[in-house]
Amino acid sequence: MQQYSVRELHLTFTQGRWEYDKWGYPLSSSAGTGVELWAWLWKNENLDDNWKSLTNALSGLFCASLNFIDETKTVQPQLSFRPEGPYNDTELYDSAELRTGSLPHENVCTENLTPWIKLLPCKSTAGIASLVNGHELYNSNFHSMSINVRPVCQDSECTHQQLEILQTLSTVINPVRNKGVRDWSLSELYNRKILRVCPLANESNLLLIIPEEGDFEIIPEADQVIKGETINQNIAIYDLKKDPHNLQLSMKWNETQFTYDNQVILPQVFAHRYFSGYGEERGGIKVNIFNKSPDLTIPIIYYDVIPWYLKLYLHTLKVRINGVEVNSKSKDYPIKDLYYQPAMDRSRPAVIEALIHLPSNSITTLSILFDKVFLKYTEHPPDANRGFDVGSAVITVVSNKKDNDDGEKTEEYGFKIESPIRIYTETLLVSLPTPDFSMPYNVITLTCTVLALFFGSMFNLLTRQFVGLLTLNDEKINEEKQDGNKDVDRRNEEAEK
């Protein structure tokens, strides 16, 4: 951190897609599929070098392709990704700059997990971390691991600051998929057991969010049950330090077959992004942003990075609310602030950042059209027919009340992170015009043949010595010609008759 003058750093590895309209919001910060890195760096003359070095260092540390975050993928967002540590607006912009980059195609696997585990005080030998089992983790519907490094205040005046490392790991495991019922136990889910608590830990708690009512049983009983954030929810707290029995946690439902609820409770804001159109020439990107709140207008920041090989046309940016197009001059126009960075071929991506006020209970649709670039054939990856990934768009829900700069938030049992809610859309796969890679060979052979023929005949003509052939036989040839003409004339005459 010091070497590359980093103020704050956030690195997330994600595999799978968080389904907002099925699972609600994630409890800890997660990101779009692949790897996402964003950092605030102290301003100095070699800030860009520092960023490059940082990505390379992290790449080595986490065995990931982070070094591929080059200038074609690096973005400086103007509205999104504010620092999560304490900061003061004017001071921040004078002294630090933000850099972000993401690799949507990056596969996350055990080689990334091991360095992550190594950062823990007891590694995976004790405490909750001993549940981390690569086999089960990568067989889940979704998993995301992140490292967040940020400064925190030591005292109330914030004169002394300290760096805090927060490591989170989220997975979504569905016991119904294998068993048909909701019963689970820790050892069954992770195929591991917690044998002891990490002695270095000050606290080691397990929290269960459970429904207020239901025909179920949790073994053992919770130490403490408190009211959850939303209605019909309780949080059961297990202190692992206090009671070793808590290490074998399981839950049983009195049911033989689980059927899903017909009514899905949707989160307030979520979004889906997709490509419109077909063919290899042009297309469009559309995003549906849902606001399910019955009475609140919710301001959000929409942030989307489009690679340079999709040439966006800003004039085609259209906004529809519930399917009705809104004119940009109308006062209902939901985009209040728009920051757009046009792409430059082979050097930087296009960036759209917009402050949008989502009307209550509405679907806001943004759409923009693009042309697909015909890439040079060396620019295609080895798996050319797979297509190119376009990273997630990020929707940041702007909280209405201004954050205090004290950094002193009520921390409820460690998992509540005071970052704003960030919603990640799907990553997209775009297929660009792909050459048939056996074709260059055919073209080369064919072209060479044609060239050889051309060259051969030209060479022949140029080097040949032309000699007149009008010799004694000239007369004869002329006579022949005449005869031929007469023959034909005779034939024509016959045809006339």
For 256-285, b/e burial (b = at least 16 CB within 10 A) is eeeeeeeeeeebbbbbebebeeeeeeebbb
Residue written as tokens 């820790």? 186
DSSP three-state, residue 111? helix
What are residue 208's DSSP bridge partners?
236
Rg (CA), the chain: 33
Residues 196-215 within binding reach of another protein (CB under 8 A):
none
**Which residue in the set 410, 471, 494, 497 belongs to the binding site for another protein (CB under 8 A)?**
471
Residues 357-386 within binding reach of another protein (CB under 8 A):
363, 383-386
**Which residue in the set 467, 475, 494, 497 belongs to the binding site for another protein (CB under 8 A)?**
467
Comparison of 95 and 140: residue with beta carbon closer to another protein: 140
The answer to the question of residue 267 lying near another protein (CB under 8 A) is: no
Query: Site size for another protein, by CB under 8 A?
Result: 53
Residues 144-183 within binding reach of another protein (CB under 8 A):
176
Residue written as tokens 């990704």? 81
Nearest to 237 by CA among 252, 226, 253: 226
The helix (H) or strand (E) run that includes residue 311 is strand 310-321
**Which residue in the set 76, 88, 139, 360 belongs to the binding site for another protein (CB under 8 A)?**
139
Nearest to 115 by CA among 13, 31, 18, 211: 13
Q: Cis (ω within 30 of 0) for the bond into 299?
A: no
What's the closest the beta carbon of residue 390 comes to another protein, in angstroms? 10
The answer to the question of residue 323 lying near another protein (CB under 8 A) is: yes
Q: Using CA atoms, how far apart are residues 202 and 261, in angstroms rounded to an integer?
A: 40
The answer to the question of residue 434 lying near another protein (CB under 8 A) is: yes
Comparison of 141 and 161: residue with beta carbon closer to another protein: 141
Token pair of 84 as six digits:
């999560």
Stretch that binds another protein, among 139-147, 213-221, 297-305, 349-357 (CB under 8 A): 139-147
Comparison of 38 and 302: residue with beta carbon closer to another protein: 302
DSSP three-state, residue 53? helix
Q: Write each residue from 2 to 21 as x if it is in contact with another protein (CB under 8 A), else as -, in one continuous string.
A: -------------xxx-x-x
Q: In what order do the strands lie in the sheet with 269-276?
A: 269-276, 282-291, 362-372, 310-321, 324-325
Residues 279-318 within binding reach of another protein (CB under 8 A):
284, 286, 288
User: Taken in order 348, 305, 80, 150, is the CA torsion positive or negative?
Assistant: negative
**Which residue in the set 10, 82, 143, 150 belongs to the binding site for another protein (CB under 8 A)?**
143
What's the closest the beta carbon of residue 125 comes to another protein, in angstroms? 27
For 75-98, b/e burial (b = at least 16 CB within 10 A) is bebebbbbbbbbbeeeebeeebbb
Stretch that binds another protein, among 192-200, 247-255, 302-310, 469-477 (CB under 8 A): 469-477
Comparison of 266 and 450: residue with beta carbon closer to another protein: 266
Comparison of 437 and 455: residue with beta carbon closer to another protein: 437
**Which residue in the set 179, 473, 483, 490 belongs to the binding site for another protein (CB under 8 A)?**
473
49 and 64 in contact (C-beta within 8 Å)? no
| List of residues contacting another protein (CB under 8 A) | 15-17, 19, 21-22, 138-143, 176, 259-260, 262, 272, 274-278, 284, 286, 288, 323, 363, 383-387, 426-431, 434, 463-465, 467, 469, 471, 473, 481, 484-485, 488-489, 493, 496
